[in-house]
Amino acid sequence: MNASITFEDGQLRVPDRPIVPFIAGDGIGPEVWDATRQAVDAAVRDAYDGQREIAWTELLAGERAHQETGSWLPDETLTGIADHLVALKGPLTTPVAGGIRSLNVTLRRELDLYANVRPVRWFPGLPSPLRHPEQVSAVIFRENTEDVYAGYEVPAHSSEGDTLRSMLREAFGWELTADTGIGIKPVSEHASKRLVRAALRYAQERQRSRVTLVHKGNIMKYTEGAFRDWGWEVVREEFADQAVTWEDCDGEPGDRILVLDRIADAMFQDILLNPDQHQVIATTNLNGDYLSDALAAQIGGIGVSPGANLNDEEGRGLYEAVHGTAPDIAGQDLANPTATMFSAEMLLRRIGWGEAADIIESAVERTVAAGVVTGDLAARVQGTRAVGTREFTDAVLGRIG
Considering the candidates 41, 229, 265, 333, report the single residue annotated as catalytic. 265
Which listed residue (185, 289, 319, 376) is catalytic? 289
- What would you report as the CA-atom Rg of the chain, rounded to the nearest whole angstrom? 22
149 in active site: yes
Task: Judge contact between 278 and 271, C-beta under 8 A.
Answer: yes
Would strands 210-215 and 280-283 be described as parallel, antiparallel, or unpaired? parallel
265 catalytic, yes or no?
Answer: yes
Alpha-helical segments (H) within 137-215: 159-172, 189-205
Which candidate, 319, 321, 397, 310, places its Cα nearest to that of 29? 321
SS (H, E, C) 119-138: EEECCCCCCCCCCCHHHCEE
Question: ∠ at Cα 210 (229, 289), nearest 5°?
Answer: 65
CA distances from 336 to 21, 184, 346, 367 (A): 22, 38, 18, 13
Neighbouring residues of 319: CB distance < 8 A, sequence distance ≥ 6: 86, 87, 88, 89, 306, 307, 308, 309, 343, 344, 346, 347, 350
Catalytic residue, candidates 149, 202, 261, 376: 149
Q: Which of these is catalytic: 147, 185, 216, 319?
A: 216
Q: Which residues are catalytic?
A: 149, 216, 265, 289
